A and B are shown apart, each in its own frame.
Chain A
Amino acid sequence: NAGVTQTPKFQVLKTGQSMTLQCAQDMNHNSMYWYRQDPGMGLRLIYYSASEGTTDKGEVPNGYNVSRLNKREFSLRLESAAPSQTSVYFCASKAGLALTDTQYFGPGTRLTVL
């Protein structure tokens, strides 16, 4: 039982390049999330997926797209990377829709855009 896994762990991009961050969970969770963490800012929600086949914008969605490929996988795509997207990206999942359900986090992807 690996929990929430993310690939890659580290990535360096040049401005304008594209890439996809991958996230998978093996806990049979329904809801999945993408957050970004910036120094002194805490974590901010980019997109979430309440269930397979649905996605919704969070607080900071501009410059990103997501795909809920199936129940296990939720990917985050940067179409044209910008230096402002340099951050640590965390994927999370939770079992259902209850507000009190615990969100479980992956180890993160550290992205640098030059």
Chain B
Amino acid sequence: AQSVTQLGSHVSVSEGALVLLRCNYSSSVPPYLFWYVQYPNQGLQLLLKYTSAATLVKGINGFEAEFKKSETSFHLTKPSAHMSDAAEYFCAAISGGGADGLTFGKGTHLIIQP
């Protein structure tokens, strides 16, 4: 069975500072990985996904993530935080061989300080 761990239920950064949200996966085979964002009272929107085509993945709104197999990680970064980035972020994985659904981490709430 696979699992996804997001370090830090809340992360606070200043506007203009680097955003780093951590995600580690545990799987017998390297999974495909996704980052979703959820704004208050809304559904989830895909930010980016790792499909094995490239280890550095660029997404929407200036976010990117790097897949590191040796560290079983897929951390999300953005060079300069904006107030509009305040939201809940979820890392998710899928590797097949079982239920065809995403396994989600518990989420990280990103707070942007003015």
Q: B95: shortest Cβ distance to chain A, in Å?
A: 7
Determine if A44 and B46 form an interchain contact, defined as CB atoms under 8 angstroms apart: no
Determine if B51 and A35 form an interchain contact, defined as CB atoms under 8 angstroms apart: no
Q: Report the count of interface residues on A (CB-CB < 8 A).
A: 28
Residues from 56 to 114 in A contacting B, C-beta threshold 8 Å: 56-59, 90, 92, 97, 99-100, 102-108
Q: B103: shortest Cβ distance to chain A, in Å?
A: 8
Query: What is the interface residue range for chain B against chain A?
Result: 20 to 34
Q: Looking across the interface, which residue of chain B has its beta carbon closest to that of A4?
A: B43
Determine if B106 and A40 form an interchain contact, defined as CB atoms under 8 angstroms apart: yes
Q: Hey, which chain B residues are within 8 Å of A33, CB to CB?
A: 101
Q: A48-B99, A58-B99, A100-B51 in contact; A42/B106 too (CB < 8 A)?
A: yes
Q: Hey, which chain A residues are within 8 Å of B107, CB to CB?
A: 40, 42
Residues of A whose CB lies within 8 Å of any CB of B are 4, 31, 33, 35, 40-45, 48, 50, 56-59, 90, 92, 97, 99-100, 102-108
